[in-house]
Structure 1
Amino acid sequence: MNKLFSFLLVTAVICTGCSGPSIEDYADKSPRFVAEEFFSGPMKAYGVVKDRSGKVTRKFIAELDGSWEDGRGLLREKFEFDDGEIQYRNWQLVPASQKDISPRQYVATAGDVVGNSTLSVAGNAVFMRYVLEVPYKGRTINVDVDDQMFLIAPNILLAESKLTKWGFNVGEIQLTIIK
């Protein structure tokens, strides 16, 4: 019985310690991120992909172009990796909450994303979690992605994506988007 109690206590402490910051923690931070402004027009992104040990395995440059019509956004992305691979992703962004509610939320979908994602915005932060279909050894696997992005200047967004499979770290993406 003592061993079971100890195990449950340690598990509870570990799970509590693993929870990261909440989007609401950034509600008073500036500059304020407004999706309809930042994700509008051409942008360029520069980034790296890291494996689970933190080693950079690939780098990329991406061209992004955003547009909005009737309150709905389209963010077109073209990634060019240093090994010659090119990937495309088109995000559809549909407001899910009122403009004056924090965090502001959008339903986000893309062709290689499983189901819907929620993009949440508060202050200078943008958080999004989704399941991405990733090509791997001639097949496709699903990877959980936890994006945290921060507007550090009106035209610069820093992003970090943690990639996990079955709860285990499998990699990370770091990038900078310049408007």
Structure 2
Amino acid sequence: MSHNNAMIHRRAALTRLAVLPAVAATPFLASCAGPQVQSYAQEKPQLDLRTYFNGTLDAWGVFTDRGGQVVKRFTVVMTCTWQGDEGVLDEAFVYADGTKQRRIWRLKAGPNGTYTGHADDVVGEARGQVSGNAFRWGYTLALPVDGRVWHVDFDDWMYLMDERVMLNKATMSKWGVKLGEVTLSFTRRTPLAAQPV
């Protein structure tokens, strides 16, 4: 295969990768550049991840490619439970084209607002930290493309807006090249004030 043909093949594979349903994952530090989660330490309302992600939540989201075009729309129903410091986040995705996907996160709370997590399609360990109203979460997903598995990095930010609403924006990249972004809005079915802790 010539160099030009190899470049065309790689570009086409990246394009297919960027529209896979699996990229619509929710919820560590992909790099040291850019904003740090500690910058939000004084922001309100203060986010307690175990309290917010507890019970049933609904989410609406889009995946945009690196040119800003919306290529996927989806909804999510998330069922969340905790036993002490260990939580299960069960995400059921439905895409605009009717396809469905499920991802089950298993989280563990650590010291100083840190969290680790695992899911079946996550490579290694996901890591995150809460500070103020923000949560930064990073992980690598193993995504099948054309008979191969691609490891794609997510730099995932969540911002608590009020007792029910959280906004989520994740940047997806491969080899340091941005492939697109996932944007979601989460809404709790039960307000935090009514949720037993």
State the one-letter code of the partner of 1:155. Answer: R
> What is the CA RMSD across the aligned residues, in angstroms?
1.3
Deviation at 1:70, TM superposition (A): 2.6
- Residue 193 of structure 2 corresponds to none
- Residue 139 and residue 87 in structure 1: after superposition, are their counterparts in 2 closer, same or farther (change >3 A)? farther
State the one-letter code of the partner of 1:120. Answer: Q
- Residue 165 of structure 1 corresponds to 174
Deviation at 1:75, TM superposition (A): 0.5
Pick aligned residue for 2:48 from 34, 39, 51: 34
Deviation at 1:142, TM superposition (A): 1.3
Quote the Cα distance in structure 1 between the aligned partners of 2:88 and 2:128. 13
Structure with larger RCO (C-alpha < 8 A, sep 6+): 2
Quote the Cα distance in structure 2 between the aligned partners of 1:127 and 1:172. 15
- Residue 162 of structure 2 corresponds to 153
Counterpart mapping for 1:66-85 below 5 A: 66-85=80-99
| Matched pairs, number | 157
Unmatched 5+ residue regions in structure 1?
1-17
Does 2:52 match 1:52? Answer: no
Pick aligned residue for 1:117 from 110, 126, 139: 126
Percent of aligned pairs with the same amino acid = 35
Pick aligned residue for 1:135 from 109, 134, 144: 144
TM-score by structure 1 length?
A: 0.84
Quote the Cα distance in structure 2 between the aligned partners of 1:56 and 1:140. 24
State the one-letter code of the partner of 1:162. Answer: T
Quote the Cα distance in structure 2 between the aligned partners of 1:60 and 1:123. 28
- Residue 36 of structure 2 corresponds to 22
Does 2:114 match 1:105? Answer: yes
Q: Which stretches of structure 1, 4 residues or longer, exceed 6 Å deviation after superposition?
A: none
Unmatched 5+ residue regions in structure 2?
1-31, 189-197
Deviation at 1:141, TM superposition (A): 1.6
Question: How far does the alpha carbon of each residue in 1:124-149 deviate from its partner, in whole angstroms, 9 at most, with x for none?
Answer: 00001110122334543211000011
Question: How far does the alpha carbon of each residue in 1:140-169 deviate from its partner, in whole angstroms, 9 at most, with x for none?
Answer: 321100001100111111000100000001
Residue range with higher mean Cα deviation, 80-89 or 134-143: 134-143
Look at both structures and tell me which one has the larger radius of gyration over its CA atoms: 1
